[in-house]
Structure 1
Amino acid sequence: MTRREELDPTSSLWDLFAVYLHVLRTKHGLSCAAVGREVNAARQTVSHWESGLLRPDEGQIRGLDALYETGGLLEWIAFHAEIVHDTRWQMQHLHLDAKASEIRLYERSFIPGLLQTPEYARALFTLEGIVDDVEGAVAMRMARQKRLYSPDPPHLSMLIDEDVIDRVIGGTEVMSKQLEHLLDLSEMHHIFLRVVPRGQGFHHGLIGPMKIMTVGRELIGFTEAPLGGKLIRNPKEVSQLALRLDRIGADALNRAQSRDIIRRALESLI
């Protein structure tokens, strides 16, 4: 199945946008190259628009509206797609996460899902109270982690607030096992775990959790939100997210110092 065949215009405005672009181009009997010449884009870029892999900028969208004589409809669809919540973002995020060769993230509230123990995940799902099948959710999360032990694991660069280390989830026994697990994972060659110290005060992660996944040649961002999140595919926005992660990393402890912080938190629970 091609990427364009995976699009679902009934559940995503961006998918609707991509599908409609393909419908309009074929209706007008134009090639991708012809459309590209009209709106200053490469033939492959136009194809990626119709597959949902890339999105035209504002000027290109206006050019497409003029070319297809849609009276501004494309611009309106893009506007609403940008501001509304997409119910498939979380599902798409997990799908992309499973294929990513590199994952960079920052977390300020909880241990990242890829690094959680079953007990910690179970306590979190139970306390959140938003998952009907807790054991099914735990099993799914543990299944995602199998990639970390594969012959070709993803490269992980994880930044977490010191508050995450100190926040006891599920009781001292559960948290002790979680911190021990973090220490073990931090020794793996493909996992770079660093802690942002509480004493840092302000840093660029306080706005909320964020992630960038490398999937093939594409960089895809994801920002967390209650009951879901937001996927970011616009290269300019992903670049801004990467810069924010770099700034957070500049304020973080190095790997050895981060392990010391985790060990001290563990010792305080024993």
Structure 2
Amino acid sequence: MVAQREPYEVPAIRAFAAELTAWRCTMSKVELAERLGYTPQLIGQIEGGKNIPSKQFAEDCDTYFKTNGLFVRLWTLIMETRRLAALPPGFSKYVDLEGRAGTVRTYSLVLLQGLLQTEEYARAILLAMQPPDTVDQFVNARMERQAILTREKPPRLWATVDERALRCMLGGRDVMRGQLKHLLELAERPNVMIDVVPQDAASHVGLGGDLVLLSFENEADIAYTESAGRGQVVEDAAGVSDFQVRYDLIRGHALPVAESRKMIESILEGL
């Protein structure tokens, strides 16, 4: 899951707040609010970094203070960095590592992992988690990540998926039909292997949530997991070893690749 940070945690928003406070120094919040046509409460929230300013507010500040576009430039920076600010701590580092890995092993319990998602499926997830005006940025970034699977020397992807993720009607039947067809197409690539853990499998450690393992040619393996909206890159040998054991235990419950494909096809036919 992706968790949004509070506005005041975003550097560009803090910069906007500081500049507004500095330019307003000769008048009260009430006076500025009257001259700009806003409420004193809004001025206070923006200066406190607790409210994201609108473009119109930025333009009004530039016009009133005659700043030659300072506030609009800061507003633009806020918009450009909001996607990064909304990512779980640790995820940006993970994406960089993912792009350099020679082997990627993933386990998905309820939501399919990002490298497997169609644009429509990704959009359905993100619309439930992010402000509508940032969703396109998130979707585009997720689609760009998938380019590693088709580059000249792509990583080997072992994607283990719980049957629950295949049957979850995320975005509706049409979205799921497209997503399941996409999985079948991905599985035809020589560097992609997809297997499924049946929903009626005995209780296993995979019920604890998703995980990713990355392997490199000349570097130690790393693991990545998310919990309560916070991403964690695990690099210490003991921690990575624990995740490797956990992944192997999960895959012990998975159907062989050929049978997994038949299950995906069967679920697709039932939609």
Task: Say whether the fold is shared (TM-score over 0.5).
Answer: yes
Number of equivalenced pairs: 184
The answer for the alignment partner of 1:257 in structure 2 is 259
Inter-CA distance 175–96: structure 2 relative to 1 (3 Å threshold): same
Asked if 1:242 is matched to 2:263, the reply is no
Listed as ranges, the matches of 1:1-270 within 5 Å are 88-129=89-130, 133-215=134-216, 216-269=218-271
Shift of 1:220: 0.6
Asked if structure 2 preserves the Cα contact closer than 8 Å seen for 1:125 and 1:134, the reply is yes
Unmatched runs of 5 consecutive residues or more in structure 1: 1-85
| TM superposition outliers: structure 1 runs of 4+ over 6 Å | none
Report the Cα distance in structure 2 between the residues aligned to 1:132 and 1:232, rounded to whole angstroms.
32
Shift of 1:90: 1.3
Deviations 1:153-181 (A, max 9, x none): 01111111000000011111111010000
> Quick check: 214-223 or 167-176, which moved more?
214-223
Report the Cα distance in structure 2 between the residues aligned to 1:87 and 1:267, rounded to whole angstroms.
36
Inter-CA distance 130–229: structure 2 relative to 1 (3 Å threshold): farther
* TM-score, length basis structure 2: 0.65
* TM-score, length basis structure 1: 0.65
Asked if structure 2 preserves the Cα contact closer than 8 Å seen for 1:155 and 1:191, the reply is yes
Shift of 1:225: 1.7
Shift of 1:261: 0.9
**Match of 2:160, SS?**
strand
Asked if structure 2 preserves the Cα contact closer than 8 Å seen for 1:205 and 1:244, the reply is yes
Q: Alignment RMSD, CA only?
A: 1.6
Report the Cα distance in structure 1 between the residues aligned to 2:103 and 2:140, rounded to whole angstroms.
23
Asked if structure 2 preserves the Cα contact closer than 8 Å seen for 1:212 and 1:221, the reply is yes
**Match of 1:150, SS?**
coil
**Percent of pairs with identical residues:** 34
Work out which of the two has the higher radius of gyration on C-alpha atoms and give 1 or 2: 2
Report the Cα distance in structure 2 between the residues aligned to 1:131 and 1:105, rounded to whole angstroms.
28
Report the Cα distance in structure 2 between the residues aligned to 1:226 and 1:150, rounded to whole angstroms.
33
Asked if structure 2 preserves the Cα contact closer than 8 Å seen for 1:131 and 1:137, the reply is no
Shift of 1:199: 1.2
Inter-CA distance 231–180: structure 2 relative to 1 (3 Å threshold): same
Unmatched runs of 5 consecutive residues or more in structure 2: 1-86
